[in-house]
């Protein structure tokens, strides 16, 4: 018995040592690809531009030429940026031809930057779809500016959507401790490969409380490539608005609007259709459908099975790019009030997305916006004009839901 106890103790110590070495070697491999981004804002004092530090975050080097992926929320308010490499060296960022330091994708909260001269070590990318719940993962980043910190934990869940952090969501949920400053750093596996970008935490205090989220690598890869090649993300678009309905204890995804002339319209989809499957995948939530659609490339096909008056119909839809989408407007509206707007088939502004942190809590997807700040908004053009003239400030909205009208006001 004495020998058995000694063997078990030796086994546990050996296993712990091997596990610790796995984390150490994986973190060491990825660490050289992680930078600290210090954000500066500027103001004019006595005719001179003065820069002052306003924040920091993390960035992940994804090419030997110095391309860096980070979160849009890390860099969006800055005027100037400094990168600190793993060895403590400081360097600057280059501006793109547009004159900006970054290109961004609002829908995923990702931004692409470029370090000045040098030969950089890019992170090795892994396919996040091969990751699974319970797997040990590691975060490398700069929490509270503490440069190149390492934390570890496990994957709690895959495919989290409808969290309310961004328009396109397919988060990897972990219990890895991350805090302000970790955003933009990599989530890596025990091979030292990046499976995601750490982006958000669920908290009531502003600090880590056991739940963190990372954007999976397949989304990061597509966004980075498109931002580099096209300066924007080219997503498939079919021209529908949907919302979830519960009927007979079943959750359905119902089409509430079809844009005239859109791929969905051409394929014969109609308002009121219930979407049952997409590319053979069961659809039981709005998030699962949006995730699939947003990550499809243009000029590809989508096969939908819909229920119309109890009859199942198969529809083939050809994706196109929605070049009329006004991200700038929705960026400002969502940033201030936590919801997004699209136009329906009649051109009327309709609530297309509502964050769980919306300042107008009673809003629902599919609500038609009849008036803003006491002035009518019969179409999307008028709505955007009224928003712009009022500096995107909302004092009240009148919405139509079914046959009822409601006056709603933002929370103070």
Whether 183 is a known active-site residue: answer yes
Query: Which residue has tokens 């308010």?
Result: 77
Distance CA 309, CA 112 (A): 46
Beta bridge partners, 34, equal 60
Rounded CA-CA distance 158/195 in Å is 12
Q: Does residue 329 have an active-site annotation?
A: no
Q: What gap in Å lies between CA 228 and CA 234, rounded to an integer?
A: 11
Q: Which of 33, 58, 73, 152 is catalytic?
A: 73
Catalytic residue among 58, 166, 183, 345: 183
Among candidate residues 58, 86, 109, 367, the one labeled active-site is 109
Phi then psi for 196, rounded to 5 degrees?
A: -175, 170
Active-site annotation holds for 73:
yes
Cβ(238)–Cβ(319) below 8 Å: yes
State how far the alpha carbon of 89 is from the alpha carbons of 12, 32, 82, 83, 95, in Å.
40, 12, 10, 8, 20
Neighbours of 234 (CB within 10 A): 17
In the beta sheet, which residues pair with residue 268?
Answer: none
Give the active site residues.
Answer: 73, 109, 183
């Amino acid at each position: 018995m004495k020998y058995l106890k000694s063997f078990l103790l030796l086994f546990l110590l050996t296993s712990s040592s091997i596990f610790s070495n796995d984390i150490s070697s994986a973190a060491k491999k990825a660490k050289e690809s992680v930078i600290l981004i210090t954000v500066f804002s500027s103001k004019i004092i006595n005719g001179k531009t003065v820069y002052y530090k306003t924040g920091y975050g993390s960035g992940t080097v994804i090419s030997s030429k110095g391309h860096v992926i980070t979160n849009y929320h890390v860099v969006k308010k800055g005027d100037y940026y400094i990168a600190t490499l793993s060895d403590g060296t400081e360097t600057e960022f280059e501006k793109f031809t547009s004159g900006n330091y970054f290109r961004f994708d609002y829908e995923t909260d990702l931004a692409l930057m470029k370090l000045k001269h040098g030969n950089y070590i890019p992170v090795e990318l892994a396919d996040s779809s091969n990751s699974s719940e319970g797997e040990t993962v590691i975060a490398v980043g700069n929490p509270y500016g503490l440069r190149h910190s390492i934390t570890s934990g496990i994957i709690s869940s895959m495919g989290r959507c409808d969290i309310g952090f961004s328009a396109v969501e397919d988060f990897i949920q972990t219990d890895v401790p991350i805090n302000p400053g970790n955003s933009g750093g990599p989530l890596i596996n025990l091979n030292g490969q990046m499976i995601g970008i750490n982006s958000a935490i669920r908290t009531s205090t502003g600090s880590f409380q056991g739940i963190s989220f990372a954007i999976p690598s397949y989304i990061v890869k597509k966004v980075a490539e498109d931002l580099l090649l096209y300066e924007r993300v080219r997503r498939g678009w079919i021209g529908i608005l949907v919302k979830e309905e519960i009927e007979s204890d079943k959750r359905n995804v119902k089409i509430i609007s079809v844009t005239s002339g859109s791929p969905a319209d051409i394929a014969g989809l109609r308002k009121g259709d219930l979407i049952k499957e997409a590319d053979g995948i069961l659809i039981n939530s709005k998030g699962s459908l949006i995730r699939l659609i947003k990550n499809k490339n243009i000029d590809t096909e989508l096969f939908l099975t819909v229920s119309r008056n109890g009859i199942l119909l198969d529809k083939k839809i050809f994706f196109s790019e929605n070049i009329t989408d006004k991200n700038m407007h929705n960026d400002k509206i969502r940033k201030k009030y936590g919801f997004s707007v699209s136009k329906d088939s009649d051109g009327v502004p309709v609530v297309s997305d509502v964050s769980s942190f919306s300042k107008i809590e009673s809003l629902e997807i599919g609500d038609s916006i009849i008036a803003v700040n006491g002035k009518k908004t019969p179409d999307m053009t008028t709505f955007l004009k009224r928003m712009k003239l009022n500096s995107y400030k909302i004092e009240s909205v009148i919405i139509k839901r079914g046959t009822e009208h409601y006056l709603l006001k933002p929370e103070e």
